A and B are shown apart, each in its own frame.
Chain A
């Protein structure tokens, strides 16, 4: 799989804003960004209220995903180009989520909203009116998704990649540094996890590093590419970004995202937790 199969550049995006069969979708947790201005023609997907079940801690089910995409005017044949803020964290999460429900014609806008803005490209407030479709989803492809028991079993057997910042990994912080540190879980990481912060896979303009640069990064970190890999972070969106780097850009076959991530693992009773900065030892 080449970079062009999974990413589009901002230049390509601008040239294809009106191409039939291409749908741009902004995915964010904070949807005020979309309201303040978005890529012309882009629909909005709200990570918190539309991709998460509002009662249980889980995704919307297959029928819910079909209803959501139908209402957004996205059809099974459309190429969906996802982008968002936070260096595409939530867009990468949505990409993984679309793949989970069997939508293969999906790409990420390389660099996301940040690159688009740094390029000085236009943002508009006009909300598109797309006719509803009759979208059909597949059953979840669970080869892409890890649950807690598999993660516990993976300690010292599979690659565990903790993609949070070094201070979160070591236990100094419970959340990324742009958030207040009031979280209640135990701090630290899953024993045997390597700490390869997601930011090391991206350039400062938000674009992904090349496959060769990624390979070098993970080799230096000690990732055994002959083994299965599970990526995690705090709530599963930064690890979606790393899942994208490992599975889509590097082409590793057996890579799962643990969307329960530290907010689940760090609250489990009886599981091992490690602190300090020496991951993988």
Chain B
């Protein structure tokens, strides 16, 4: 079991990655010049209720282990904010890109 609450290191998704029975919402934050590192990425449910937050890796990667459902991911960065939605209906990898402007 995980005895802490800090997020694991945020790593890039691998195409075809086996997530077992986990519903994984993962992807990349991008800015004007490609990948944007260090943004705070928030996972919000369909009602806008907060479910989790991670800080994207220097390469802009983020990852959540969610319950099945419709999710919004919102990125906050000193250069601006951005958001995107993703339908994570069941176990597996659900990829999403967030453009920050």
Total chain A interface residues with beta-carbon distance under 8 A: 40
Which residue of the partner chain, among A120, A172, A179, A204, contacts B2 with CB atoms under 8 Å?
Answer: A179
Whether A29 and B5, one on each chain, are in contact in the complex, defined by CB atoms closer than 8 angstroms, is yes
Whether A177 and B65, one on each chain, are in contact in the complex, defined by CB atoms closer than 8 angstroms, is yes
As a 0/1 sequence over residues 163 to 198 of chain A, the CB contacts with chain B under 8 angstroms (1 = contact) are 001110000110111111111110000000000010
With A176-B52, A178-B54 already in contact, the answer to whether A183 and B2 are too (CB < 8 A) is yes
- Chain B interface main SS type: strand
Chain A nearest CB from B54 CB (Å) reads 5
As a 0/1 sequence over residues 4 to 34 of chain B, the CB contacts with chain A under 8 angstroms (1 = contact) are 1111100000000000001000000000000
Docked Cα-Cα span, A235 to B6, in Å, equals: 11
As a 0/1 sequence over residues 202 to 220 of chain A, the CB contacts with chain B under 8 angstroms (1 = contact) are 0011000000000000000
Whether A234 and B78, one on each chain, are in contact in the complex, defined by CB atoms closer than 8 angstroms, is no
Docked Cα-Cα span, A173 to B23, in Å, equals: 11
Whether B4 and A48, one on each chain, are in contact in the complex, defined by CB atoms closer than 8 angstroms, is yes
Which residues of chain B are within 8 angstroms of A139 by Cβ–Cβ distance?
none
Whether A118 and B64, one on each chain, are in contact in the complex, defined by CB atoms closer than 8 angstroms, is no
Whether A28 and B40, one on each chain, are in contact in the complex, defined by CB atoms closer than 8 angstroms, is no
Is B76 close to A, CB under 8 A?
yes
Chain B nearest CB from A133 CB (Å) reads 29
Which residues of chain A are within 8 angstroms of B5 by Cβ–Cβ distance?
29, 86, 89, 175-176, 179, 234-235, 237-238
Whether B40 and A167, one on each chain, are in contact in the complex, defined by CB atoms closer than 8 angstroms, is no
State which residues 217-257 of A face B: CB under 8 Å: 234-235, 237-238
Chain B nearest CB from A275 CB (Å) reads 14
Which residues of chain A are within 8 angstroms of B52 by Cβ–Cβ distance?
165, 176-178
Whether A29 and B6, one on each chain, are in contact in the complex, defined by CB atoms closer than 8 angstroms, is yes
With A118-B40, A167-B67, A235-B3 already in contact, the answer to whether A181 and B22 are too (CB < 8 A) is yes
Is A104 close to B, CB under 8 A?
no
As a 0/1 sequence over residues 60 to 101 of chain A, the CB contacts with chain B under 8 angstroms (1 = contact) are 000000000000000000000000011101000000000000
The 5 closest A-B pairs by CB, nearest first: A177-B52, A199-B50, A30-B6, A29-B6, A178-B52
5 further A-B contacts with Cβ under 8 Å, apart from A85-B55, A166-B49, are A28-B6, A86-B53, A175-B5, A180-B8, A205-B76
Can you list 26 A-B contacts (CB < 8 A)? A29-B4, A85-B6, A85-B55, A86-B5, A86-B6, A114-B40, A117-B38, A117-B40, A120-B78, A165-B51, A166-B45, A167-B51, A173-B67, A175-B5, A175-B65, A178-B52, A178-B54, A178-B64, A178-B65, A179-B7, A180-B22, A183-B2, A197-B49, A200-B50, A234-B5, A237-B5
- The interface of chain B, by Cβ under 8 A from chain A, is 1-8, 22, 38, 40, 42-43, 45, 49-55, 63-67, 74, 76-78
